[in-house]
Amino acid sequence: MIYLDNAATTYPKPQSVIKAVDDALKKSANPGRSGHTLSQSTAISVYEVREKLKDMFSAPAVENVVFTLNCTHAINYVLKGLIKSGDRIVTSSFEHNAVMRPLEKLKKQGVHIDIAEAYPDDKEATVRSFSRLINTNTKLVICTAASNVIGLKMPIKEIGMMCKQFGISFCVDAAQLAGVCDINMKECNIDYLCIAAHKGLYAPMGTGVLITKDNRLDTIIEGGTGTASIMLDQPNDLPEMLESGTINVPGIIGLGAGIDFVKSKGFDKIYNHEMGLVKRLYKQLKSTPGVKLYTPEPDDNYAPVLSFNINGLNSVDSASKLNSLGFATRAGLHCAPFAHKRIGTIESGTVRICPSVFTSGQDIDKFAAAVRRISIKSHAVF
């Protein structure tokens, strides 16, 4: 199987990650809950992963790194912990349901949602689109770092600067970009960074991260933290304030190994490798009769994601045929109906591919040849 569904979760995981998880299962206890040696050593290991995340994303402090179940969990913490009835939120026309569904819930509770148009060929127009929607009641701007459907990167540095000028909080859904490109919270004026660690950071599934600039969020989950146990009120100190219950220690230790793996490769090398493969595939599919591309010709304004369809076939049928030939892709609406409305594929969905550091040029050539064969057969029938 040639795996090209890395936008959903990276596969395979590096051997160093697998070993780290295995070791954690054998040698870890519940951190911060007991005074014995095993618990203390586990707490140190977890703290070291927080330090790695702080350094990688230029977080304000180690304690501002909060472990979550996934990126969606982190986004919900921000939206439901910050926003009140009467507030306004600005988001983009390319958002994943990890953002849009919590926003829909908030909308029913009296929150106003403004949708800013994102323009694939014009960063300045995108920023102006956000800026025009801001008023005195706007509390937050939230947007994806990169579309999980066509790979379009949002101008988060420019949007962050705009938010700073208006005195508005800025939250970034970094699910598709963390680990693939450098994201600097300070330079981009990001107040809340939400990360799907199981994607570009090669961690196990069930690991996410929220890096917050401060402790202004209200809690949406309360419980045991291992600290201030005599108090019935939730602690106000990070990260315990947002980490009720036992954290996913094996996943977090695996995340630490994933960060080391990414750092050993380097952001530029990873991005150039993966984008090189997307460009290689784009060139081949563009010349393939019966194939419609939805990702524009990839350049530095895109993440390594490409969407297409084969004329005469539903995207799910195309992906099924590709699966039978040994290729793992993702079909349908990719949990991002707003993005599909934007590109005109809400009825059909698209076939999406996303390479990883483990994908080779030969893999891409084989995939392009398979798409060509399917397209030829499809047109012979239709």
**How far, in Å, CA of 320 to CA of 331, rounded?**
9
User: Does residue 358 share a domain with residue 274?
Assistant: yes
**How far, in Å, CA of 299 to CA of 296, rounded?**
9
User: Does residue 175 share a domain with residue 208?
Assistant: yes
> Who's near 241: CB < 8 A, 6+ residues apart?
215, 217, 219, 225, 234, 235
Domain count, the chain: 2
Domain boundary among 227, 242, 264: 264
Question: How far is the CA of 192 from the CAs of 120, 170, 172, 359, in angstroms?
Answer: 24, 6, 6, 31
Side-chain-side CA neighbours of 296 within 13 Å: the count stands at: 12
Classify residue 380: in a domain, yes or no.
no
User: Does residue 341 share a domain with residue 233?
Assistant: no
Containing structural domain, residue 330: 2-10+266-374
The residue count of the chain comes to 382
Q: One digit per residue, pLDDT tens: the chain, 382 residues? A: 999 999 999 999 999 999 999 999 999 999 977 789 999 999 999 999 999 999 999 999 999 999 999 999 999 999 999 999 999 999 999 999 999 999 999 999 999 999 999 999 899 999 999 999 999 999 999 999 999 999 999 999 999 999 999 999 999 999 999 999 999 999 999 999 999 999 999 999 999 999 999 999 999 888 887 777 888 888 889 999 999 999 999 999 999 999 999 999 999 999 999 999 999 999 999 999 999 999 999 999 999 999 999 998 999 999 999 999 999 999 999 999 999 999 999 999 999 999 999 999 999 999 999 999 999 987 644 3
Classify residue 345: in a domain, yes or no.
yes
Check residue 91 and report its DSSP letter: E
User: Does residue 112 share a domain with residue 246?
Assistant: yes
User: Does residue 289 share a domain with residue 211?
Assistant: no
> Who's near 302: CB < 8 A, 6+ residues apart?
146, 150, 151, 152, 153, 275, 278, 295, 296
Entry pTM: 0.96
User: Does residue 245 share a domain with residue 293?
Assistant: no
Classify residue 381: in a domain, yes or no.
no
Domain boundary among 246, 264, 282: 264
Q: What is the CATH number of the domain that holds 313?
A: 3.90.1150.10
User: Does residue 209 share a domain with residue 145?
Assistant: yes
Q: Which of 88, 103, 89, 68 is nearest to 194 (CA)?
A: 68
- Strand locations in the chain, DSSP E? 2-3, 65-68, 88-92, 112-116, 138-144, 169-173, 192-196, 208-212, 291-293, 306-310, 327-328, 330-332, 350-353
User: Does residue 147 share a domain with residue 39?
Assistant: yes
User: Does residue 284 share a domain with residue 245?
Assistant: no
User: Does residue 234 share a domain with residue 317?
Assistant: no
Residue listed under structure tokens 């040994």? 326
User: Does residue 357 share a domain with residue 294?
Assistant: yes
Q: What is the CATH number of the domain that holds 170?
A: 3.40.640.10
Classify residue 379: in a domain, yes or no.
no
Classify residue 317: in a domain, yes or no.
yes
Domain boundary among 214, 241, 264: 264
